[in-house]
Amino acid sequence: MQTDPVSSEAVAWHMQEPQAVLRQLQTSSDGLAAAEAARRLGIDGPNELKEAKRISPWQIFLGQFKSLIIWILIIAGVVSGLLGEGVDAIAILAIVVLNAVIGFYQEYNAEKSIAALKKMTAPLAKVRRDGAVASIPASGIVTGDILELEAGDLVAADARLLSAASLKCIEAALTGESVAVNKQPAALEQRDVPLGDRENMVFMGTSVAAGTGRAVVVATAMQTELGRIAGLIESAGAQESTPLQQKLDSFGRILVWATLGIVAMLFGLGLLRGTPAFELFMTSVSLAVAAVPEGLPAVVTVSLALGVLRMSRRRALVRKLPAVETLGSTTVICTDKTGTLTVGEMTVRSLHVGGQSYEVTGEGYGPEGEVRLQGAKPDAQHTESLLELATVIIGCNNAHLVQEEGTWKVIGDPTEGALLAAGSKAGGHRQRIEQDLPKHHEIPFDSDRKRSTVVRKLPDGKLRAFINGAPDVLLERCTALYTSAGIRPLTDDDRTRIEAENASMAGQALRVLGSAYRDLDHAPPGSLTVDSVERDLVFVGLTGMYDPPRQEAKEAVAKCRAAGIRVVMITGDHPHTAAAISRELGISSGDRIAVTGADLDKMSDGELKRIAPETAVYARVTAEHKLRIIRAWKSNDAVVAMTGDGVNDAPAINGADIGIAMGRSGTEVTKQASDMIVTDDNFASIVAAVEEGRGIYDNIRKTLQYLLAGNTGELLLMTACVLAGLPAPLLPIHLLWINLVTDGLPALCLATDPIDPDVMKRRPRARNERITDGGFLSIMVFTGILTAGVSFAVYFHTLKSGTPEMARTHAFAVLVFAELLRSFGARSATKPVWRIPLSGNLMLFAVVSVTFALQVWSHHNDTLARLLKTTLLPLPDCFMLLAVGTIPLVVLEGLKLVKKSVEA
């Protein structure tokens, strides 16, 4: 009877010897038989990541109708239509549709995270079947297959190495570590080994930088580490309402109950007075229209859309509209280190040769930068020493640097790419070395020797071996020392000095390599063994490298601190490197060490919640750890933004309140999981986006106050007349005109006001802070009383000497004029109107002027008069009503001066 191989779940493959793994998976080093592979494929299914259910365009469109205020408007529109008020119904429903169209346009780019992950998997893979190597579609790989790996390959499944020759893999997308990982087949002793330290495993979606290897597949499809991340993305993707959505929905519920309460009270009062039921019903509809700010959804949506446009100019592309405002309320930014706070490319920062230390400037693999000695360019006596070291680090190197679309990239090992760039800055020439010193033999790097050697032929026919490796191991095999005065024997004091310099570089979080050489007599390559070549070496110098912080990141972190925003570094890199970079950027201070993934595995969610506010750096973490950290902060009521570029960042980005992906270095997976993409991979652009978000929230808040104060005035005016037993002062069409045109258009202009320059000097808003706090409501009600008061006075005065139609026309006109003038003062809660530059919002001035002209014209044009149900209003009366309409603005501006003098 055919038995099935053991499930890969919960098996510590890295602890087992290769032969034990083969036995457990019921395979051999010659691979599976084709028939057996087909059988396993039928049981386990194809080696493909499960694709998430797509969100259809209709679902996105219908999602725009979730807001309670939108449903209030829909009901108001339907009721207006049933009552024969066709114009009112069309106007209300047009606003609803416009709001939905704008929101749909912004969010049409549906979630494709899992689909993007599929693009990272290898389309073809080399496997052994029936004892022979064959290229097959990666989807056909099964557990027990034997993979043949070489430089440039994309790994098609998770596999345990059986053999390896100088094998190095780039796992940055999975672990966040930018250095290529050396691979070897020996079993590891510990069970709980971080993903980035499993040297005998290769993982789906990573790539081979150098060397060759053979590995047995232990997991496919969703059972791989990449598959686990795909599952995390799905589980993290439950969409939560943004702070603004929550506040507006809460406000909408309050508005509904308040309106229903007032309408019910007045309806009952009317019945007691004997008012006809139909008349009461029409008055109730008018009151409901007066209470609901019909322009609010459109104003909020359009202001967010305008914010998207402004952010794009600051290199931030917003994929999901509500994310604009969420950014403004961010209290914590959790950021990946590699490629976000740092350049994401290994860079040599320090050289030590001839007893002298040199600084290397520039970032990444490009030629920009130079070697400096005490801040100045070295003189001629130092040039020879630098050239000697440059010749070794270039001569023992298999990487290549290429320029693509203006960016320098490395083909091969990133560490060797960094050495190549530094060697060029130190005076070395790759082409000249290849031409004058052709390669004769190579002894590749392996993790046991911790060094690599390239033997080159000298012009005189002799050989020279160039060696790079771990300084401590290399120093043991050196007997001589290169100095600026020549070569001399290596003394114990020399060794002590070199070891101290190595320790000093390592203490700065630099990865240190030693360089040496040895001259040999000519010999055939076959006779050049490790033991015969790598001894009696001449020690040349040390090279210190790291992934440097972005120049602008430190300033951006300081800006976050001033704005009350906490920056937390989460990385797959080593703890000491992470801690050093965080101190350099100002994220952490003192000697605090990073919390590691192994530490997190020992913590419960409750313990993590407790330590999260005190922890600034996490290192050696996986995608799952990052998601746990995000959730711990959210459980502390923080509004969390997560930034990153690798696949390992995607679940946390999807699970954060606001997910931010890097546009240049970011994987497609991360971009599709994000709410916003930073196009220049600059942490400073994220902070600029936060600033925009805060400004947008401020504008939405003052716009909301302007609209609600107008609605309050209308509601108070209608209520006062009902209580006084007077005819309705405004008809539903008047209220709609005021809400949509007189208030709505200026409100749109208020939403585009310039951002307050001091916005990043304030503490962030709490998640539970109400958008309508006590100060907001008191100003809203006071403003409503003022506008209702002047309108009621005009209406009552005209009603005594004229017809109800004339009185309505006067009340309508004075209310419109008061609202238009009040928009100028609404631009600031503290500055008087004459101290707010009109040039900052010329569109508001234009809109108010046009609306004022339109209002006057409506009283002199028969078509508009019939539409708005108004009577003729002579020009002198218009100017008299305009003068009365200035009263609310004058009083409110006076109140600002009083408050300022009291505070002073």
Using one digit for the tens of pLDDT, what is the confidence trace for 7-61? 444 578 988 999 999 999 999 988 999 999 999 999 989 988 775 555 667 776 7
The mean per-residue pLDDT over the stretch 713-726 comes to 85
For position 161, what pLDDT does the model report? 95
Select the highest-mean-pLDDT range: 212-216, 412-416, 521-525, 705-709: 212-216
Q: Are 563 and 756 in contact (CB under 8 A)?
A: no
Tell me the chain's radius of gyration from C-alpha atoms. 36
If we measure between CA atoms, which residue out of 586, 663, 714, 588 comes closest to residue 339? 663
How many other CB atoms are there within 10 angstroms of residue 222's CB atom? 16
Print the SS3 string covering 285-337.
Answer: HHHHHHHCCCCHHHHHHHHHHHHHHHHHHCCEEECCCCHHHHHHCCCEEEEEH
Residue % of the chain over a pLDDT of 70: 87
If we measure between CA atoms, which residue out of 23, 18, 21 comes closest to residue 3? 23
The mean per-residue pLDDT over the stretch 474-493 comes to 94
296 pLDDT band, cuts 50/70/90, is low
584, 587, 588, 593 alpha-carbon torsion, rounded to 10°: -90
For position 428, what pLDDT does the model report? 93
- Name the helix (H) or strand (E) containing 555: helix 553-562
Select the highest-mean-pLDDT range: 351-355, 373-377, 741-745, 896-900: 351-355
If we measure between CA atoms, which residue out of 77, 85, 78 comes closest to residue 282? 85
For position 54, what pLDDT does the model report? 57
Least confident stretch, 108-122, 359-373, 604-618 = 108-122
290 pLDDT band, cuts 50/70/90, is low
The mean per-residue pLDDT over the stretch 801-816 comes to 91
Q: Is the pLDDT of residue 640 over 80?
A: yes
Q: Which residue has the higher pLDDT, 740 or 622?
A: 622
Q: Are 9 and 231 in contact (CB under 8 A)?
A: no
For position 707, what pLDDT does the model report? 86
The mean per-residue pLDDT over the stretch 247-273 comes to 75
Give the separation between CA 272 and CA 261, rounded to whole angstroms.
17
Task: Please indicate whether residue 336 is annotated as part of the active site.
Answer: yes
Find residue 455's DSSP bridge partners: 441, 465
The mean per-residue pLDDT over the stretch 334-342 comes to 82
Residue 856: half-sphere exposure toward Cβ, Cα within 13 Å:
15
- pLDDT, tens only, 457-473: 999 889 999 999 999 99
The mean per-residue pLDDT over the stretch 77-106 comes to 69
For position 118, what pLDDT does the model report? 42
91 pLDDT band, cuts 50/70/90, is low
How many other CB atoms are there within 10 angstroms of residue 695's CB atom? 20
The mean per-residue pLDDT over the stretch 874-896 comes to 92
Residue 692 token pair: 């925009």
- pLDDT, tens only, 432-459: 999 999 999 999 887 778 899 999 999 9
CB under 8 Å, gap of 24 or more: what pairs does 856-865 form?
Answer: 859/809, 859/813
Q: Is the pLDDT of residue 238 over 60?
A: no
- pLDDT, tens only, 185-207: 999 988 888 888 889 999 988 88
For position 51, what pLDDT does the model report? 58
For position 1, what pLDDT does the model report? 37
For position 112, what pLDDT does the model report? 42
Least confident stretch, 532-546, 626-640, 825-839 = 825-839
For position 858, what pLDDT does the model report? 86
Q: Is the pLDDT of residue 496 over 60?
A: yes
> Which among 336, 547, 657, 675 is annotated as catalytic?
336
If we measure between CA atoms, which residue out of 168, 581, 596 comes closest to residue 340? 581
For position 113, what pLDDT does the model report? 39
For position 452, what pLDDT does the model report? 92
Q: Is the pLDDT of residue 289 over 70?
A: no
For position 111, what pLDDT does the model report? 40
For position 115, what pLDDT does the model report? 43
For position 252, what pLDDT does the model report? 66
Residue 301 token pair: 């949506």
Q: Is the pLDDT of residue 672 over 80?
A: no
For position 700, what pLDDT does the model report? 82
Instruction: Label the pairing between strands 332-336 and 566-570.
Output: parallel
Q: Is the pLDDT of residue 142 over 90?
A: yes
Q: Say whether 84 sits in a helix, a strand or coil.
A: coil
Select the highest-mean-pLDDT range: 143-152, 232-241, 420-429, 894-903: 420-429
Q: Which residue has the higher pLDDT, 732 or 353?
A: 353
Q: Is the pLDDT of residue 242 over 70?
A: no
The mean per-residue pLDDT over the stretch 484-506 comes to 92
The mean per-residue pLDDT over the stretch 245-253 comes to 67
Phi and psi at 17, nearest 5°, equal -70, 150
Average pLDDT over the chain reads 83
Residue 688 token pair: 């600029």
For position 99, what pLDDT does the model report? 62
